[in-house]
Structure formats: structure tokens, C-alpha cells
Structure 1
């Protein structure tokens, strides 16, 4: 049998407590199990570490020397593990328009304690999360998640209308959200924030043009195939010569979520990122 960390931890617990019963309770094992572990350790080292006496607990000279080395080994190992865990990378996936100010702040604080953030642009963050190619997804679509995923809302964003520069809506005045319910609608079915259910009343026969990513969506809007609505961030982050963004005072906000896997349980670095975010 080879020497294992459990032998060292059991031995140090016994040294600290000076009593088999208390040491077993501290380790959440039975006293006979602890006794067997210490006996295994002595056989591996081929020396007696603990004096066998019913009156008191005492260590042999070899036991005292081994205690010093065992404590140093575990301390060094714990330090290395903690440093590596702090430096562990967390892969964050997003489909479009990363919220720059928020993300820059979170990344700065997370990396200040030794972590590292990898950024991945993916068409479908939920699929990437399920496939374990990313650790955390930034998502703007409220959907029913499988039981293996969890979500936390971290922000709301103002929603603006996006129309073709050739559309009469590009220059129309006093637009309200309900005024837009009859227009053809361009919908990004994978990661878009707006679809026909975004209006209180769903009109039968409304034309819906579907696509699967932001690039297709904005080109369809520019081609005047329909209108769209996106977070206000698009106005500065995704300008397009063929698209005009309009403020709609009563437009419902969109929501920004962090989504992560719960099965298996998230790593320590992922939990730290979530706490930072």
C-alpha cells in the first residue's frame, strides 16, 4: 500500500487531538477506522509512531519527526491547490453585445484575486453550456431551463426599436409599443430578446421572419423585411448604415441572465465568478 493524503490528515488530527475518539469525531469516521488508518501508516513507514499505552497518548521520536514533515507537506499542498484554484480560468459565453461596462468591472475584480476569464462568442450559449464548452452563459432570453441549469437575473436593459433606414417608421413621431404590433417582425429564435409574444396581444396572421443569430437579424432589418427590438446597447455597439434605432418610451425592458450548470456542481472558480458578478 502506498502512502496517501488520508494517512497524513488522520495522523495530524490524532496528534492535534491527542485522543482517538476526538480525532475520529473531527474526521467524521469511526474510532476503529481511524485506528486501522494509523496502523496502516505505521506499516507503510515501517516504524512505530504512537506509543501504545492505556494511560496517556504519546508519540515516539519517529512520530514527532514525522508530524513535522506531515504538517509541512499538507500545508505546502494546500497552498499550491489554493493558488491554482485562484488562477483557474472561467469560460464565459455570449451570443452578441457583451455588456461592456458591467463585464469589465466583473472581470477586473475577478482577475484581481488571481482568476482568469476566457470570453467566447457563440451562436447558442445554452447549447455551449450543455456541451460544457463554456462554464457560464450570458443570455438575454427568458426560457424554461433544464433541471441541470440555473439562472440569475443580473440586469435589465432598455429596449429600442430597430427599423430599416428606408422604413417610414425611421422618421415617424410619437411611436408607442402597441403601435408596432401589426408590423412584420424579424425574430432571432436562438438568442433574440423580442418575438411575437413580447406584445400583450398576439395578432393572428402577423408575419414573422425567423433567423438564428444577430448578424442575420440586423441584415434582415436593414433589408426592410421587418422590424425588430433589441437592448439599447445595440445603438452604440452595433451601428449599421441601413438600420435606425428608435426610442420607444413604453417598450418593455429586456432582461440579462447568468446561466450555469448545477449538475455536476459548479467548480470553486465558477462559484467565485458568480459571487463577483
Structure 2
């Protein structure tokens, strides 16, 4: 295996064609430099330089080897730079999971945008994953990061999480219903409606929020159709198959036949970022770090924009 230090010495002497000047550039004494070049020639089995009292020149073999030496040093530098960028989380790959309603959230887009600007060399892949499967896929290494809604149950110890946003809940109702003209609505007023929900394994945080609202209001929910996609839930509302309780950002789906009505006095739903608590990649930790910065910046801007009382 060739010694990269000796290759660097050889290239420097080839550039200068003078052992004294090359030694100065390398910040070493000339005799050790001469010995290292001689050792390289012995290792290669060729003479690299013609030396005389008046000049140093490359031999034909040395001139040809110089191109190879430069390529090896360039490749080594590139590998070192790549390793440093991997170590800093500025390069690599991330598999990011999300539930179907998350992409409607402004915070999701802002975090992904800001990360792309700060770490453009990181390859991102996105996968829609049922919220009940987030923890398992992160722990198994299938996902590095997941965006979801906070469930009632705490995350297991191997999963770290950070709240990146909170959103009020709204009722998606048919535009022809009596609720459509309301500025807001008490959840208890929906007692006789069929609720369109996610099936088991999907939307567990939203289903848990619905169950909590029903328990607080003393309502036994009347089941309606189920669907795995939030767009399908909204389409079923437009088809007058029931009502759906969704985060306010879902109102971005402006579908004919649907109106989104705020729920009066209800606690917001928290959007969370999940990752492995142990053995997370540097790239994933960089994503989390920049996500926190992005959220902090967004909150600061919102506070500055808020009217003073």
C-alpha cells in the first residue's frame, strides 16, 4: 500500500523541481525529504527524478507516475472531505416517514425547505407510513425520522421526540349541513353524526383525539366509513357519509361540498418529530437540530408579527 505522505512529497518536489524549495513548502528538512523520495523509488522499482548539482528533472517514468499520484491524492482528499461532511451530518441519506395529513402542515414544508438549504448534499426519501408503525420502523432502522401527531401514549424509551407545532382541531362537515354556517361548534353538537375515521394502524393520534372528545362530551361515537388517506376522509365528508375531526391544516384541501368548522374550546393537537434516541445517524441528528432552529425561527417571526395589545 502506497504511503500517501510519500506521494504528497513526490508531487511537491515534482511541482518545484527543487528539493530545497519543496522541503520549505512541506515544512520539513531537506535530508528527510530526500530519504522519503528514495524510499518511494525503491518501493515502486522506478527512478522518479534525475538529480544533478544543477537541476532536478522528472524521468519519463516519473512524469507518467505523477498523473497517477495526483489522482490518488485528489481521491484521498475527496474521501476525507466526504467523511467530514458525513460526520457533520451535511451529507448522507435520510428516510423520512409521515402520516397522510402531515404534508398539509406549513411547519412540515418549512422544516424540509430549511434543511434542504442548509444540507443540500443529503438525499431525502419520503414514505407515507401509518402512525402506529412509526415507532417500530424507526427502531428497526427503516426510517430515520418521522413526522406525526402526538398520541396519548408516551413514546418508548428508544424513540426520541420533539414537538414542532400545535394545531387546533376542526370538524370537516358537509357544506349542506346545518353546521356549515357556524363560526365554531361545540363537539357535543355532533353527537348524532357518523364519524369518518382512520382504520386501526392509521391515524391513531387523530382517532385517540376523537375518543377523548367523545369521552369528555359523554358521547358514544357512531361509526362511519374508514379510510387510510386524509384526502379520502374529506372526500367522504363531501359525499355526506359523515363528519371527520382533523387538524386545521387539512383545510388546505378545499374540496367542493366540505366546510371546516373550528371546535370551540378544544385543546390543540401536537405535531411531533421522532427519531432514534440512541445510535441515530449524524445526518438524522443534524436534521433534528435544524428542525428545532426552523421551529424557533418560525415562532419568533409569528411573535413579531402579532399585533400588540
* Structure 2 residue 285 is matched with structure 1 residue 271: yes
Secondary structure in 1 matching 2:266: coil
Q: 1:205, 1:258 → 2: CA distance?
A: 32
Could you tell me how far 1:272 is from its partner in structure 2? 0.5
Q: TM-score of the superposition, structure 2-length normalised? A: 0.57
Could you tell me how far 1:119 is from its partner in structure 2? 4.6
Which residue does the alignment assign to 2:90? 86
Which residue does the alignment assign to 1:163? 173
User: Contact conserved, 1:91 with 1:118, CA < 8 A, in 2?
Assistant: yes
* Structure 2 residue 164 is matched with structure 1 residue 149: no
Which residue does the alignment assign to 2:111? 106
Q: TM-score of the superposition, structure 1-length normalised? A: 0.63
How many pairs are equivalent? Answer: 218
Please, which of 92, 95, 99 is the counterpart of residue 99 of structure 2? 95
1:75-224 equivalences in 2 (<5 Å): 78-84=80-86, 85-97=89-101, 98-99=103-104, 101-115=106-120, 116=122, 118-125=124-131, 126=134, 128-130=137-139, 132-142=141-151, 143-172=153-182, 175-189=185-199, 190-191=202-203, 193=206, 194-201=209-216, 203=218, 205-209=220-224, 210-224=226-240
Distance 1:130 1:225, change over 3 A: farther
Larger Rg: 2
Q: 2:146, 2:187 → 1: CA distance?
A: 29
Gaps of 5+ in 1: 9-59, 67-71
1:40-59 equivalences in 2 (<5 Å): none
Gaps of 5+ in 2: 6-30, 38-73, 292-309
Which residue does the alignment assign to 1:239? 254
Which residue does the alignment assign to 1:12? none
